[in-house]
Amino acid sequence: MASTSTETSSSSSKLPHKYDVFLSFRGSDTRMNFVDHLYEGLVGNRFNTFRDDEQLERGGEISSQLLDAIEESRICIVVFSKNYADSRWCLNELLAIIESIASDDGRIVLPIFYHVDPSHVRHQTGSYCTRYTYPERDADKEKVEMIEKWGNALTAAANMSGYHVDPKTHEGNIIEEIASQISDCIDQKPLHVGTHLVGLDIRLNEIMKLKSGDKSKFVLMVGICGLGGVGKSTMVRAIYNELSYQFKSKSFLEVAGDVSKDCHRLLDLQKQLFCDISPRSKKKIRILAEGINVLKNMLCREKVLLVIDGANDETQLQNLAGGHDWFGEGSRIFITSRNKELLVQHKVDVLYQLPELNNDEALELFSWHAFETSYPHHDFYILSKKFVEYCQGLPLALKILGSCLFQKQSHEWKIQLRDLDKEPNMKILDVLKVSFDGLPSTYKAIFLDIACF
């Protein structure tokens, strides 16, 4: 089918997009057949879909709730069936949808002509020539004006590119096409990565090459290690955004703190993973041991994109991604950790050591935060080089110090540099301390011996 097109206003949306899709339909015509199958297909493809007969609160003000749902939806699908125009409710809903385009220049209206001729909808003929679309002789002015608005809304919707479903159409194929088009329309970069991503593209391309070749057919587990503050979390968010469109089943898990000692937090992560992959399942995970079996049985049937960010203990990985046999063919699992040995122990297929920024990259990143330009001001060049040298290519340290020095005078820069020689910046120190705390006890002892020496 041709891509959807609408004439829209340049004004911005008043409400955020809470829903991916809003479904408008005549319940008596299609609720128990096509719309039910369409709804299942949309939800199965992870689209947050509003269907009024299911999601309106009982006893609530229906009209205002529907209006809010329309305004909060990215895409509105209108299923024109034989008796759609016989319902004032449906016509008012359609009118609200068409009028909503003016408040959101990104909203899309997708018409589906279910067992009806699109020209009948466009010109209000055939089954669409009803008392609600064609004024009676004795109709008053207000009623005539309302009928004219409904007619204009029907014409506008019918002029948009959509889908014609006749009795001989294979509905399953149409639903797949609709889901594919919606996927193309909705932003496929769900995670915020950050700004001034200096050096990210080069490293991202290196990691993307790791999944090429024969391994693309099998489960591939990639471990990304590096110092605290080197950008591991930023990298896997970029990877997730880069690959997410290829996977119907995907999940991004942030492992914050020492989750291995917090059974409740680890159980919450199991539940999050289960919900991300199977959002409509009503099965409950009560304990970690049960969660392992539930996840393994579910994931092995799926092609999954899974990111586990910040692992620091084997217990976490055993409960969330026990092994290659947990996942279906073609799955991609990315795990970040400061602990290289942990990733080796978990038998990742590829281990990628995320490098620090080189001198030129570091100076550029520092400059973006200190001057809001890609290069330091002439009078601050030498001082900038000294701060960059202090940061040793760690992006987080460069961002923190650059932001601290923004719009400050040169004498303040010199004081800050002198203070760093005496006492490190606490924000940077806290990040490095986490790296130290994650070391095995033997390594900690060796590190302290070297430091004292």
pLDDT tens-digit map of 57-110:
443 334 678 888 898 888 999 999 999 999 888 999 999 999 988 766 568 899
| Section 376-385 average pLDDT | 90
Task: Tokens for 271, please give them.
Answer: 């539940």
Beta-bridge partners for 253: 308
Q: Pick the closest to residue 294 from 303, 284, 280, 304 (CA basis).
A: 284
CA distance 73 to 81: 22
pLDDT tens-digit map of 438-452:
445 554 454 455 455
CA distance 347 to 351: 9
| 3 — pLDDT class (breaks 50, 70, 90) | very low
Those residues with Cβ within 8 angstroms of residue 230's Cβ, 6 or more apart along the chain or in another chain: 354, 355, 356, 393, 394, 395, 396
| 10 — pLDDT class (breaks 50, 70, 90) | very low
**Residue spans of beta strands (DSSP E) within 189-331:** 220-225, 249-254, 304-309
* DSSP label of 161: -
Please tell me the least confidently modeled range out of 14-18, 190-194, 216-220, 270-274: 14-18
| Section 134-161 average pLDDT | 86
Task: Tokens for 163, please give them.
Answer: 């889908």
CA distance 212 to 179: 27
Instruction: Quote the pLDDT of residue 1.
Output: 39
- In contact, 304 and 274? CB cutoff 8 Å: no
Instruction: Quote the pLDDT of residue 241.
Output: 87
| Residue 212 pLDDT greater than 80, yes or no | no
- In contact, 355 and 324? CB cutoff 8 Å: no
| Section 290-295 average pLDDT | 93
Q: Pick the closest to residue 253 from 233, 238, 235 (CA basis).
A: 233
Tell me the pTM. 0.61
| Cα torsion through 127, 128, 132, 137, rounded to 10 | -80
Query: What is the Cα 31 distance to its own chain's centre?
Result: 29
Instruction: Quote the pLDDT of residue 13.
Output: 38
| Section 352-371 average pLDDT | 93
Residues annotated as catalytic (active site), given as ranges? 93
| Residue 327 pLDDT greater than 60, yes or no | yes
